[in-house]
Amino acid sequence: MPSRRTLIHNGIVVPCDGTRTALDPGSVLIEDGRILAVDRPEALAHITDAHVVDATGHAVLPGLHNTHLHSGLLRGTAESKSLWDWLRDYVDPAHRALTPEIAEAASRLCYTESLRAGTTSVMDMWRHMEGSAHAAEQVGIRATLVPYVADLPGYDYFETLETNRRLLTHYRTHAGGRVRSWVGLEHLFYCSEEAFRAAAALAEEFDTGLHTHSSETMWEVEESVRRFGRRPIEEFRHRGVLGPRTVVAHCVWLDDHELDLLADTGTSVAHCPCSNMKLSSGPARVAEMRRRGIPVGLGSDGEKENNNLDLLEEMKFASLLQKVTTLDPTTGDPWDILTMATIDGARALGLDGVTGSLEAGKQADVVTVDLRRLHTTPLLHGEDFNAVAHLVFSASSADVNHVWVGGRLLVEGGRVRSVDPEKVRLEAQSAAEDLFRRRAALAG
């Protein structure tokens, strides 16, 4: 019978528990899906009945949280467009052509890619999400499912509050709590005020979260002022969606009053630096958000606007974007960035009591990253400790070695075990070809 215990032995343990400390060397003991102990290797030397994983030369950290993702199959197909042209001409027509089968293949691809890259928790805004629930269950990742709900004329092909309710009824919590559903809203200009109010009520009825995106471009802010007489976050407050259960992605063009509104209402932010750079949206005021106590998690945004789901790489962009926009080298500190990708992301998702840090009693969502690579040399200890800087600035998903979610070893030596990644890839390839055929037929 396999041992119920796993000892991740002699690594560089970065618990991300709110302190800027590492256990170097350190070990993590897992039992029945939970973390039993995080300690120095010698303190756990008496454990003899565990399956031992040697983590020498590896960082051992909590699984990463991607707080804003869209499953999809549009990677690399419409580059160098402005956000709103790109949505109108490329993304929305693909939404029209989407089927439940294609949507599920997209989720399976994106969750498998994420898990392989050390992400153990995603918040996915997508369509036909019963299939996403199945995909997340198979892949073994934690997933918070958020349908794209829209109701204004011209956007009738999106999800509705009714389909969102159906998802909540069946999948509010699923797969032992690993898969959850929230309420989702598409852009401010795709949804009526009534839809916002009903969405807030739905989230309350099911005691769940609410996710949307906002203030990505300057145009959006100007248009909001023109249409509603308020900036987007002010309009959100007017429509009753700000609060501790809400996570708003992007929040690039916020003024001081809007930042205060987020802080005062306990609303969280999903910061997506790659997307904000690639779509020329602009830099979010992350340091000022964090100073106000707003929980800020990291998000990749979709595969179409990133174009990969690699949060280790995203951390580097997050840091560099802050540095270049503030011209202040003390911003974007590696410890702060790692905190955003782990415990603060979990906090935004309301999962910080469950995961997000390596602490006894929490779910064993653990990642090891091999730091014995050319690009992570030298690896130094003691006063010259540099593993956290390596994680943020040098490492990438290719360096992820093992990944556990809830104590299940889902990636071993860089290979996904829960699903066959080649099968996932081939299924996604043919689903994408189908999607493009269907989109062309609808256009033609």
The stretch near Zn ion (CB under 5 A) out of 184-192, 199-207, 300-308, 340-348 is: 300-308
**Residue 124 found at the interface with Zn ion (CB under 5 A):** no
Identify the bridge partners of residue 298 per DSSP, sorted by sequence position. Answer: 271
Site for Zn ion in 79-118 (CB under 5 A): none
126 or 404, CB closer to Zn ion?
Answer: 126
The stretch near Zn ion (CB under 5 A) out of 103-111, 296-304, 409-417, 436-444 is: 296-304
Give 41's Cβ-side CA count (13 Å radius): 15
Which residue is nearest to Zn ion, using beta carbons?
A: 301
211 or 347, CB closer to Zn ion?
Answer: 211
50 or 247, CB closer to Zn ion?
Answer: 247
254 or 354, CB closer to Zn ion?
Answer: 254
What are the distances in angstroms from CA 430 to CA 91, 135, 272, 304, 334?
A: 19, 17, 29, 17, 40
Tokens linked to 432: 């994408």
CB of 120 to Zn ion, least distance (A): 20
CB of 299 to Zn ion, least distance (A): 8
Binding-site string for Zn ion from residue 200 to residue 229, where x marks contact by CB under 5 A and - marks none: -------------x----------------
CB of 301 to Zn ion, least distance (A): 5
CB of 70 to Zn ion, least distance (A): 5
**What whole-number distance in Å separates Cα of residue 243 and Cα of residue 238?**
12
The amino acid occupying position 215 is S
The stretch near Zn ion (CB under 5 A) out of 141-149, 239-247, 295-303, 371-379 is: 295-303
**What whole-number distance in Å separates Cα of residue 297 and Cα of residue 426?**
32
**Residue 186 found at the interface with Zn ion (CB under 5 A):** no
Binding-site string for Zn ion from residue 3 to residue 32, where x marks contact by CB under 5 A and - marks none: ------------------------------
Phi, psi angles (nearest 5°) of residue 238:
-60, -35
98 or 379, CB closer to Zn ion?
Answer: 98
CB of 158 to Zn ion, least distance (A): 14
For 60-93, b where at least 16 C-beta lie within 10 A, e where not — what string?
Answer: bbbbbbbbbbbbbbbbeebeeeebbebbeebbbb
The stretch near Zn ion (CB under 5 A) out of 183-191, 232-240, 297-305, 344-352 is: 297-305
**Residue 301 found at the interface with Zn ion (CB under 5 A):** yes
What are the distances in angstroms from CA 440 to CA 36, 148, 426?
A: 54, 22, 21
Q: What is the dihedral of CA 425, 185, 155, 128, to 10 degrees?
A: 40
213 or 390, CB closer to Zn ion?
Answer: 213
Q: Which of 141, 138, 146 is nearest to 213 (CA)?
A: 146
Tokens linked to 366: 């653990």
Please name the residue that has the structure tokens 């270049």: 324
213 or 285, CB closer to Zn ion?
Answer: 213
**What whole-number distance in Å separates Cα of residue 50 and Cα of residue 86?**
52
Number of residues engaging Zn ion in binding (CB under 5 A): 2
CB of 216 to Zn ion, least distance (A): 8
Site residues for Zn ion per CB under 5 A:
213, 301
